Structure 1
Amino acid sequence: MLTSLATIFFTSLIIAFSGAMMPGPLLTVTISESSKRGAMAGPLLITGHAILELLLITGLLLGLAPVLKHDLFFLISALLGGSIMFWMAWGMFRSLPTLSVNTQEGTERKGNLLITGALMSLANPYWIIWWATIGIGYIFYSQTFGLPGIVFFFLGHITGDYIWYTAISTAVSKGKKLFTDQVYRILIGICGTFLVGFAVYLIMTAANNNF
């Protein structure tokens, strides 16, 4: 039993790494917020992400998977997600003229990082599709070991996210000391541009019905 639970934990950890390392809106926001708020931005964003995933796993266990895979759900998710990304990008672009590396780290408290972490997850419909397909399969397998199986699966999955995003957040925060104001603004501008790109792609995909 313990061997099986350990296997579930470590395989879930590896799968989480493969997903966390892929570029996406959550990674983009992590880079942006870490440069402004310091190394704790990543863990806080992932905590919001983790709370949402825990709720989603509960929903999947209660039979939510068919709803999440429906074309209409993808359409609504893509349109709302694209709108959220546009809003986040606009905030980044609007702040560019006043951004400075000399701003004391952690003094910018606008917005709740827990909520932002959850929003950036919801804004990506492919995150929902992953859970409704690959994720639900792994959940059903873990469920054969009862509640401990589900717990070890979730712990392995979220541990992978915490490790990767904490590493990214720490690296960006420490590296900020090497930035000039111009480089700092370029970094945030790139993050905003990527969010716009993600938003446009999602909305175009939804408009073309390419599910």
Structure 2
Amino acid sequence: MTSLAPSLFAGVVFGLALAAPPGPMNAIIAEESVVRGWVAGFKAGLGAMTADAIFFVLAALGVVAFVERFPTVRAVMVGTGGILMLYFAYGAARDVRSSFQPGSRDGREAETAAESSGSTGFRKAFVLALTNPYQILFWLTIGVGLLKPGTLDVLAETPYVGGELAGTLVVETGSPALVVGFFGGIFLWVTGFPAALVGAERRVDAFAPVVAGVSAVVLAGFGVLFLSQAAGGLL
């Protein structure tokens, strides 16, 4: 595949495949979406996407490799991410109660709260993404590969099912269209995922507290995992 359109399409597929699997970023997006609305969920997604854009620039400059060469720095970052995830898990658990729809609320007050929480969601996802070892590892390996001329088996890198899809979509790397498509796929996810959650929440009253509870469990699980990895790297 050497033409513009296939590379662009492959990038979109790759971005969607990497953004969609369950994880701490989607837990934050889900919680913000069902508790505070689409705008808050979308801004949380933009926070994670902004971190990816920063990692992309750092990878292009060769700076990201610094983290891998200094295990202690990486362990501290992973530990910080673990602490943040546990803190956000506590916040998600508190949102389980508050996510039940109130009987009535002043429209101006609701709009102000949504704008404030949207800003908070962006910061939460952005800071968490910067300390997420999985995102750092991605940009140290596969992400750097997007910039270098060669080939990439796109679906082989998809979490959980990559082995079964290997060889299905192979594209040439080093193409700007592939990178544009990659971020386009992520943007589609952070736009559509919150919208789907908000739509479901409007149909099922109990949906918001359930999602907030699941988000709390996911974040707590990753928090404990990251802390254990950090302890292993420091000992």
User: The TM-score by the shorter chain falls in which range?
Assistant: 0.7 to 0.9
Residue 67 to residue 15, structure 1, CA distance change in 2 (3 Å) = same
Give the CA deviation at 1:150: 6.2
Q: 1:21 to 1:203 in 2, by over 3 A?
A: same
Q: TM-score, normalised by structure 2?
A: 0.74
Tell me the alpha carbon deviations over residues 70-124 of structure 1, each in whole angstroms, 9 at most, x when there is no partner.
3233312210111111111111223333332237675443353332331231232
Seq. identity, %: 23
Cα contact 1:28–1:194 (8 A) shared by 2: yes
Identify the residue that residue 135 of structure 1 maps to in structure 2. 143
Gaps of 5+ in 2: 151-173
Counterparts of 1:1-211 in structure 2, within 5 Å, are 4-70=3-69, 71-102=71-102, 107-108=113-114, 109-110=116-117, 111-141=119-149, 151-180=176-205, 183-209=207-233
Q: TM-score, normalised by structure 1?
A: 0.82
Corresponding residue pairs, total: 202
State the one-letter code of the partner of 1:202.
F
Please state whether the residue corresponding to 1:77 is helix, strand or coil: helix
Label 1:150 to 1:119 Cα distance change in 2 as closer, same or farther (>3 A): farther
RMSD over equivalenced CA pairs, Å: 2.6
The Cα shift of 1:125 comes to 0.8
Q: Give the deviation of 1:69 after TM superposition.
A: 2.2
Work out whether residues 79 and 206 of structure 1, in 8 Å CA contact, stay in contact via their aligned partners in 2.
yes
> Could you say if the C-alpha distance between residues 177 and 8 of structure 1 is closer, same or farther in structure 2, counting changes exceeding 3 Å?
same
Paired residues of 1:20 and 1:161 also in contact (CA < 8 A): yes
